[in-house]
Each structure stands twice: as structure tokens, then as C-alpha cells.
Amino acid sequence: MHKSTSTKRKSFRLYAIASSVLLGLVSMVALIAGVTPATAANLASQPDTQIAVFMVPLTILVVAILFEAARIALRGALPAEAPVRRPNHRHWSPGQGEG
């Protein structure tokens, strides 16, 4: 059998490499700047930092959902039409008992 390499797998590999490099750079910058666990804990105890840590990812998520909804709406059609459900026939009526 022929094994084909999908482009999705390649793009994930590129994303993983880019994320790892970015994480390494951020870690190096933090070490050079002198951020220690004690200063990070002091910063994390402040209410403004706690709100930012909660709100920034939430805002990114909402913006991503709005972007996807706008992209689908502007394309004009739904990605896949849902099939029509067949009605279920039930052979039961309220006056009948089981025994």
C-alpha cells in the first residue's frame, strides 16, 4: 500500500517546532531579565495579574469564535448539510398497559 503524507501533519510539525522555539526564547529572556520564582509568585499574587491571566485567553477564544463564525457566514453555505431525520414510529398509546 502507498502511504501518503498529509499536509495537515506537516503543518502540525511546523507549528510544534515554532512553538518550542518560541517557548525557549521566552524562557531565555526571562532568565536574562532576572525573573525568579519568588518574583513571579509575587507578581502572580496581584489581582491585576490574575485578571489578565484569566481574561487574555478568554478574549482570544471569543475573537477566534467570532472569526470562524464570520468566515462561515461570508462563505455563504454551511460546511455540510445535515440529513433529514426520519420520524420514529412508536407502537405505544397512552391507554395500553404492559400486563
Looking at the domain assignment, is residue 54 inside a domain?
yes
Question: Looking at the structure, do residues 55 and 33 belong to the same domain, yes or no?
Answer: no
Q: Which residues in 41-80 are b (16+ Cβ under 10 Å) and which e?
A: eeeeeeeeeeeeeeeeeeeeeeeeeeeeeeeeeeeeeeee
Looking at the domain assignment, is residue 67 inside a domain?
yes
User: Percentage of the chain surpassing pLDDT 70?
Assistant: 77
The pLDDT of residue 97 = 58
Looking at the domain assignment, is residue 83 inside a domain?
no
Looking at the structure of the chain, the number of domains it has is 2
Looking at the domain assignment, is residue 26 inside a domain?
yes
Looking at the domain assignment, is residue 30 inside a domain?
yes
Pick the residue with more confidence: 4 or 25?
25
Whose grid coordinates read 503524507?
5
Per-residue pLDDT reduced to its tens digit, 11-59: 788 899 999 999 999 999 988 888 887 887 888 888 888 888 899 999 9
Question: Looking at the structure, do residues 17 and 41 belong to the same domain, yes or no?
Answer: yes
Question: Looking at the structure, do residues 39 and 17 belong to the same domain, yes or no?
Answer: yes
Question: Is it the case that residue 90 has pLDDT exceeding 80?
Answer: no
